[in-house]
């Protein structure tokens, strides 16, 4: 009870000072391709000529290079720690109603770890993922990703940060409907200014890796849900990001296909030593992860290390 009161005090006290950081309902959360690529570039990329797209990608890289140097490093974070969250709060205000979607969350994730965030609907899972990916500002708290304090970044720094470090896998796949599998997977590479031949080769390799070698020319509408999500995974991983965020990646799939997609994600991130943060409401799918963070009403109520559990079992039989 005293902890609850203390939390209330923190929030009430800070509300006045940081009222601009409290999100009013109606504020857009950036989702889907816009979040992934920034602004309206996706729509442009789909319609403009290849030359224009590449020019734009080159311009973005150039103009953002200054901001990189301004980004504060976090020298105190251990080298293999890829995510550090401290006392994270997110408060939404809808008229008179205040919702503490995140109510003082702290945790660390090491590089190469698969972490699931599990909890009931409305517990704050997507809010947490959006904060970690820099898609929404936190009300209060510290988020250090790959050595950078993202809570201090401006929008252009965040776009660069996401392009360089982060891959997203969405529940609704978010593929471009008029583009083939190869074109969809190659899209993030176009924003790196890569020539068409190289990016198509890389995209084809990724499609082979996710078992879709025969579906390179297919449009999303010509594939099953599971196949579309595998294209989504290939697209998220083609830039070889350090961190992959997935919000209910199997939410639209049946249980057998969900298991296949989980196994695939698990295999790829393990091979590439990437860090995967996956949100799910499903305990069974969450248990695939190395670390399970359970949240309820915006607070972490359990942080289970499944790797330790396995070790304990082995030791038990020794
Ligand atoms: N933009 C917003 N404005 C106001 N309240 C919001 C907003 N986004 C989320 N919330 C509230 O914050 C809380 C956490 O929402 P969040 O979307 O993080 O839940 P979730 O765990 O992802 O749920 P689900 O499993 O249903 O996707 C909920 O009470 C929700 O109503
Ligand atoms: Mg959600």
pLDDT tens digits for 297-308? 999 999 999 887
Q: Is 137 a pocket residue for ligand 1 (Cβ < 6 Å)?
A: no
Asked if residue 228 lies in contact with residue 115, where contact means CB atoms within 8 angstroms, the answer is: no
Query: How far is it, in rounded angstroms, from Cα 194 to Cα 25?
Result: 39
Report which of 255, 314, 307, 260 is spatially closest to residue 283, judged by C-alpha positions.
Answer: 255
By alpha-carbon position, which residue is closest to atom 16 of ligand 1? Answer: 124
Measure 139 CA to ligand 2 centroid, in angstroms.
18
Q: Which of 24-28, 73-77, 214-218 has the highest average model confidence (pLDDT)?
A: 214-218
For residue 124, the ligand 1 atom closest to its alpha carbon is 18
Top mutation candidate among 116, 120, 123 for ligand 1, by most atoms within 8 Å of CB: 123
- DSSP per-residue codes, 185-198: HHHHHHTTT--HHH
Band of pLDDT at residue 269, cut at 50, 70 and 90: confident
Q: Is 281 a pocket residue for ligand 1 (Cβ < 6 Å)?
A: yes
> Would you say residue 268 has pLDDT above 70?
yes
| pLDDT 10s digits, 105-163 | 999 999 999 999 999 999 999 999 999 998 899 999 999 998 899 998 999 999 989 88
Q: Is 126 a pocket residue for ligand 1 (Cβ < 6 Å)?
A: yes
Q: Is 123 a pocket residue for ligand 1 (Cβ < 6 Å)?
A: yes
Q: Roughly how many angstroms between the first and final C-alpha of the chain, as a whole number?
A: 43
| pTM listed for this prediction | 0.77
Which one of the ligands is nearest to 130 CA? 1
Query: How far is it, in rounded angstroms, from Cα 57 to Cα 52?
Result: 9
| pLDDT 10s digits, 10-19 | 444 444 444 4
Measure 183 CA to ligand 1 centroid, in angstroms.
33
């Amino acid at each position: 009870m005293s902890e609850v009161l203390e939390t209330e005090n923190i929030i009430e006290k800070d509300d006045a000072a940081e009222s601009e950081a409290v999100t009013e309902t109606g504020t857009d959360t950036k989702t889907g391709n816009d979040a992934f690529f920034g602004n309206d570039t996706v729509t442009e990329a789909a319609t403009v000529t290849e030359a224009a797209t590449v020019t734009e990608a080159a311009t973005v890289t150039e103009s953002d290079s200054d901001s990189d140097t301004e980004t504060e490093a976090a020298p105190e974070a251990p080298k293999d720690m890829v995510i550090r969250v401290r006392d994270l709060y997110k408060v939404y205000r809808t008229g008179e109603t205040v919702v503490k979607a995140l109510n003082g969350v702290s945790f660390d994730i090491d590089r190469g770890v698969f972490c699931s965030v599990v909890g009931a609907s409305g517990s704050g899972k997507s809010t947490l993922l959006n904060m970690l990916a820099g898609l929404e500002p936190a009300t209060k708290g510290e988020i250090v990703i790959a050595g950078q304090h993202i809570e201090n970044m401006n929008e252009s720094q965040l776009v660069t940060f996401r392009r360089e470090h982060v891959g997203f896998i969405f529940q609704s796949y978010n593929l471009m409907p008029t583009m083939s599998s190869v074109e969809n997977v190659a899209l993030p590479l176009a924003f790196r200014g890569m020539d068409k031949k190289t990016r198509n080769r890389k995209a084809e390799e990724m499609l082979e890796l996710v078992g879709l070698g025969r579906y390179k020319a297919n449009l999303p509408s010509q594939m099953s849900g599971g196949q579309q999500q595998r294209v989504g995974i290939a697209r998220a991983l083609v830039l070889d990001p350090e961190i992959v965020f997935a919000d209910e990646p199997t939410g639209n799939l049946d249980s057998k296909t969900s298991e296949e997609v989980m196994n695939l994600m698990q295999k790829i991130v393990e091979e590439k030593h990437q860090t995967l943060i996956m949100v799910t409401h499903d305990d069974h799918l969450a248990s695939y992860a190395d670390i399970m963070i359970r949240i309820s009403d915006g607070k972490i109520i359990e942080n289970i290390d499944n790797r330790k559990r396995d070790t304990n079992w082995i030791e038990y039989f020794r």
